[in-house]
């Protein structure tokens, strides 16, 4: 049996999101640690737009979109092909020591990234719960 029938694309996608989030976390943590390092260049990982694009291009073979108001279902583009971009985080440099870390921004990103990670984990958990429910409770 194809395991994809049971563990749909959704889980694969969420897995990918967790990967990206944890990489992004590492970059944010690195920026925070180097807050006082002269000439340190802050970096950020951007993947949201590409993920959104991948989801928008969706439209599974089984479910045709016959009206503009229909939402696409399923993910056609291989989510493993999404390549996140590394950007150098701020465009302006305000400090004298050529350090480009904006601590308020980094802390905000830290919290946001943390919350979004938790969201993805929660959804994966619910997904598994749903599968378990279908297996166990079906016979009653």
Residues engaged in binding another protein (CB under 8 A): 18-23, 25-30, 32-38, 40, 43, 45, 83-84, 86, 103, 106-107, 110-111, 113-114, 117-118, 121, 124-125, 128-129
Q: Residue 116: name the closest of 31, 47, 70 by CA.
A: 47
How many angstroms separate the Cα of 105 from the Cα of each of 19, 44, 112, 124? 22, 11, 10, 28
Which one, 43 or 76, has the nearer CB to another protein? 43
Which one, 59 or 123, has the nearer CB to another protein? 123
Closest separation between CB of residue 91 and another protein, Å? 17
Closest separation between CB of residue 111 and another protein, Å? 7
Which one, 27 or 75, has the nearer CB to another protein? 27
Closest separation between CB of residue 138 and another protein, Å? 18
* Counts of helices then strands in the chain (DSSP H, E): 4, 2
All residues at 6 or more sequence positions from 87 whose CB lies less than 8 Å from its CB, including other chains: 43, 44, 45, 46
Distance of CA 40 to the CA centre of its chain: 26
Which one, 3 or 66, has the nearer CB to another protein? 3
């Amino acid at each position: 049996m194809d395991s994809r029938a049971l563990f749909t694309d959704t889980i694969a996608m969420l897995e990918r999101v967790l990967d990206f989030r944890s990489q992004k976390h590492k970059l944010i943590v690195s920026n925070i640690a180097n807050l006082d390092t002269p000439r340190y260049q802050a970096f950020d990982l951007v993947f949201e737009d590409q993920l959104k694009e991948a989801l928008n291009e969706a439209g599974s073979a089984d479910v045709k979109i016959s009206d503009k108001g229909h939402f696409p279902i399923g993910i056609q583009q291989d989510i493993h092909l999404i390549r996140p971009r590394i950007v150098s985080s701020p465009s302006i440099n305000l400090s004298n020591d050529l350090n480009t870390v904006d601590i308020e921004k980094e802390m905000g990103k830290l919290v946001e990234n943390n919350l979004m990670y938790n969201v993805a984990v929660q959804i994966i958990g619910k997904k598994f719960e749903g599968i378990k429910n279908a297996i166990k409770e079906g016979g009653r």
